[in-house]
Amino acid sequence: MVTAQGRTDPNQNTGIVIQKSRIGATSDLLPVKSSFPTYLGRPWKEYSRTVIMQSSITDVINPAGWHEWSGSFALSTLFYAEYQNSGAGAGTSSRVTWAGYKVITSATEAQVFTPGNFIAGSSWLSSTTFPFSLGLPIDKHKNRRPLKADVVVAAEGSGDYSTVSAAVAAAQREAVRGALSESKQVFTGKLCKY
């Protein structure tokens, strides 16, 4: 079990948030990980609140993600959420279906659980030696449009070529053909990989 959080009152401003971390097995657990089912968390008290976000999760985590503690205790009052996790154990399609579990899809909603907001980090974290960021990382490519390309490489087969090597070889052949032609034009197209 990675976490076991508990609140006795739904208005308590406590909880566990794990952000930009790695969740996986240690080297001694790897060979026997199937013998030890591992979960992101379970409720300890009635109003358990845990958020795992922007973390790398390996396949050591059971696909259900979360586990009950004692039957249905706290399953209707807990709040468990995941946001933008990656890795073999980050898939949410087989996660628990409890009323209090959700996949956060909005950066605005996830922002509530960042150190700057959830623990008022701007007022005290700088006095520690612990590396931190107060908010969500800025997506520098959020509004990026695909490049216009003369050649498209797409591994699933929707492009002109399925590998970059094949596209480069074709470009070289085209350059040779162009050099031999009367106009002596050389292929100068852009290459765009998806």
Mean pLDDT of 64-83: 95
Nearest to 46 by CA among 96, 8, 102: 8
> How sure is the predictor about 165, in pLDDT bands with cuts at 50, 70 and 90?
confident
The pLDDT assigned to 186 comes to 44
Tokens of 50: 């845990």
Residue 180 CB partners (closer than 8 Å, separation 6+): none
Average pLDDT, the chain: 85
Alpha helices in the chain (DSSP H): 107-111, 115-118, 164-180
Q: Which domains does the chain have, with CATH numbers?
A: 16-127 (2.160.20.10), 151-193 (no CATH)
Q: pTM higher than 0.85, yes or no?
A: no
Which range is least confidently modeled, 2-6, 112-116, 123-127, 149-153? 149-153
Is residue 74 packed enough to be buried (19+ CB in 10 Å), middle (13-18) or exposed (0-12)? buried
Give residue 178's pLDDT. 63
Banded model confidence at residue 139, pLDDT cuts 50, 70, 90: low
Contact 165, 155 (CB under 8 A): no
